[in-house]
Amino acid sequence: MCGIVGYIGDKNSVPIIIEGLKRLEYRGYDSAGVGILENSHVNVVKKVGKVSILESEMTDRPINSTVGIGHTRWATHGAPTEENAHPHFNNDKTLCLIHNGIIENYSVLKKDLLKKGYEFYSETDTEVLVHLIDSFLKKGNGLLKSVRKALVEVEGTYGIAVISSLEPDKIIAARRGSPLVIGVGNNENFIASDVTALITHTSQVVYLDDNEVVEVYKDKFKAKNIKDEDIIKEVHEVTIALDEISKGGYPHFMLKEIMEQPESITNSMRGRLIQEDGISRLGGIRNQIDRIANSKRIIISACGTSWHAGLVGEYMLEQYTGIPVEVEYASEFRYRNPVINKDDTLIFISQSGETADTLAAMKEAKKKGALILGVCNVVGSSIARESDAGVYIHAGPEIGVASTKAFTSQLIVLALITLLIARRKNLSLVDGQNIIKELESIPGKVQRILELNKEIEKIAEDFVDAKNFLYLGRGYNFPVALEGALKLKEISYIHAEGYPAAEMKHGPIALIDENMPTVFLAPHDSVYDKIVSNIEEVKARKGKIIAIASENDNTIDNLADYSIKIPETIRMLMPVLNVIPLQLLSYHIAVKKGLDVDQPRNLAKSVTVE
């Protein structure tokens, strides 16, 4: 949530900041602003709406500033207005600040600052911080010390960048709970909340850790912790190619990301399948495998789509390893004093690796001595760095706000983890080899499903005006029903619910009439006959039925109004295939409604606030 970019060097900072903000726009798109040092003054320009609006405003002004910071906002405190947009000024306009996160004690701090005579122009929590820093500057402290002292008083989370006309040779950046990286260039340095904003300029990055404050000059940077102790930071090399973060000819990132799943799934498995031993190779958890295999319990925790992947993981792990598994919403888990034992393994799943609830749940679990594994996409992200061990999903950057390719890669990695543990326990060589054979066939099968795109687009035409949708599945396909419903609601704003199909008669069946479309996940598996009975029940009440069924299923056509036929696989991997038509269906419905699928209203990609 909220994107931060900063530049200090010899070039004009504004185009660099605007380009970075555009790459970060998926983190928030309510308003955007820049603060630059120009002729010994701090100038701020802010606009409501997308970065392109700010960009047109800036192109009309001749600017030559070599130090600046920029922000794209996802509103927390205060509506998306120009006043509430970042950067925020101190009262004498010598200082401006951008912030990602939430200052939880802002009202107490504000009261105090009001008493001291500070004037506020926004409803944000952030403005408190800029005045607080100013109050320390007024006591004769330098900029770094003032920022540090202000942060000591702050409760909550922040990733911030500050510039001041009083010390124009630096940007101060600090982090607690909200991601921030420094990009190290040649006689120029960058700041960003995400490496994707930097990769056109440098591949050398420094990840800030919590409670670190950094002075960034054009030719060096100095890091300290909040207690004023010096810290040596390691420079990392990032390897993201530019075409991975551009649309590559597709109208939307979401469609590109759906379409690249044969490749992203292949990447998730690359070098990790050992056919002759019927086992997976996962270097990141190799040293912990005995402890994992001997755990008394596995707890998976995540949010949103990643939580749905966790539910599928529960089915996989319980079926093949016999270890009891629980799946928890991270937001609930962190606050309810969960019972965690030393012989438990906890798996935290997160595409971004920055989701505030997941990160906090992980920190809570860590205190209780259990083994902590991270399953993340973003390399170097907070969850990846703070876990004891983990597996990257290697799906490549996911920019569309609705998660698609990350979900299928999460499922693949969970299958690989399951296989590794199961072979340590009692899965036979032959069974392990069969799973590997099926895994290897998945990218080709996904490709065949993607070739149904036009057919699915046609079906979508008939549902543009639907007000509600029901998604039903059993067993492994119940989490897929949840994921299908989430995909539809977040990008098309159509109300949708996912249910285990058998639960329908315990309530949701009351909703069925000729206006209620129901999507059934009905592959040929052990519960096929039961799903067919549920389809009959909906049909008897005149509900419209879309069935996702197996290629060779000829009976389904007599029951469903629309059927989408897809290849078969083993039960454990079915969700990887079954979710693809649901992603395409949601995408086409949203596009036909004229909605912005990559940046749906009220959402942001990386949820770094509670």
Binding site for ligand F6R (CB under 6 A): 303-306, 350-352, 355, 358, 402-403, 486, 490, 606-607
- Whichever of 421 and 609 has its CB closer to ligand F6R, that residue is 609
Closest to ligand F6R by CB, 95 or 482: 482
Beta strands 158-164 and 171-176, pairing class: antiparallel
Residue keyed to tokens 């759906």: 258
CB of 302 to ligand F6R, least distance (A): 6
Alpha-carbon distance of 471 to 484, in angstroms, equals 7
Nearer to ligand F6R, 432 or 498 (CB): 498
- Continuous segment of H or E residues that includes residue 73: strand 67-73
Whose Cβ is closer to ligand F6R: residue 88's or residue 334's?
Answer: 334
117: Cβ contacts below 8 Å, ≥ 6 apart: none
What one-letter code names the amino acid at 200?
A: T
C-beta closer to ligand F6R: residue 216 or 376: 376
Check if 2 is active-site. Answer: yes
Q: Where are the alpha helices (DSSP H) in 60-142?
A: 106-115, 126-137
- Beta-carbon contacts of residue 566 (< 8 Å; ≥ 6 apart): 445, 448, 449, 452, 523, 548, 549, 550, 551, 577, 578, 580, 581
Query: For residues 205 and 375, which CB has a smaller minimum distance to ligand F6R in the complex?
Result: 375
Q: Mark 528-538 as b/e (b = at least 16 C-beta within 10 Å).
A: beebbebbebb
What's the rounded Cα separation, in Å, for the pair 369 and 343?
Answer: 8
Name the minimum Å distance from CB 400 to ligand F6R: 8
Burial letters 84-99, b for 16+ CB under 10 A, else e:
bbbbbbbeeebbbbbb
Q: Which is nearer to ligand F6R, 65 or 305 (CB)?
A: 305
Task: From 402, 406, 386, select the one nearest 394 (Cα to Cα).
Answer: 406
Contacts 24+ apart (CB under 8 A), 437-441: 437/275, 438/569, 438/570, 438/573, 439/269, 439/273, 439/412, 439/415, 439/573, 440/269, 440/273, 440/275, 441/569
**Minimum distance between the CB of residue 531 and ligand F6R, rounded to whole angstroms?**
25
The two three-digit tokens of residue 477, written as one number = 């396909």
Nearest approach, Cβ of 607 to ligand F6R (angstroms)? 5
Strand 189-192 versus strand 3-8 pairing type? antiparallel
Can you tell me the distance from the alpha carbon of 419 to that of 423, in angstroms, rounded to the nearest whole number?
A: 6
Minimum Å distance from CB 605 to ligand F6R?
A: 7
**Catalytic annotation, pick one of 110, 218, 565, 605:** 605
In degrees, to the nearest 5, what angle opens at C-alpha 377 toward C-alphas 407 and 451? 40
Contacts of 179 by beta carbon, 8 Å cutoff, 6+ apart: 159, 193, 194, 207, 208, 354, 381, 382, 606, 608
CB of 383 to ligand F6R, least distance (A): 8
Nearest residue to ligand F6R on Cβ basis: 304
In the complex, what is the shortest distance from the CB of residue 413 to ligand F6R, in angstroms, rounded to a whole number? 13
* Closest to ligand F6R by CB, 135 or 351: 351
Give dist(CA 25, CA 125) in Å, integer. Answer: 21
In terms of DSSP H, where are the helices of 189-336?
Answer: 253-259, 261-269, 289-293, 304-321, 330-333
Contact 483, 579 (CB under 8 A): yes
User: Min. distance of Cβ 479 from ligand F6R in angstroms?
Assistant: 13
Cβ proximity to ligand F6R: between 87 and 484 the closer is 484
Alpha-carbon distances, residue 356 vs 136, 350, 422 (angstroms):
29, 10, 32
Shortest Å distance, C-beta 26 to ligand F6R: 10
Q: How far is the CB of 188 from ligand F6R (least distance, A)?
A: 30
State yes or no: cis peptide before 87, omega within 30 of 0.
yes
Shortest Å, Cβ 354 to ligand F6R: 7
Cα separation, 431 vs 367, in Å, equals: 38
User: What is the CA 434 to chain-centroid distance, rounded?
Assistant: 32
DSSP state of 37: E
Nearer to ligand F6R, 372 or 535 (CB): 372
What is the DSSP-derived secondary structure letter of residue 501? Answer: G
Residue 164 vs 350, nearer CB to ligand F6R: 350
Q: In 193-257, at which residue ranges do the beta strands (DSSP E only) sit?
A: 204-207, 212-216, 221-225, 230-231, 236-237
Name the residues annotated as catalytic: 2, 605
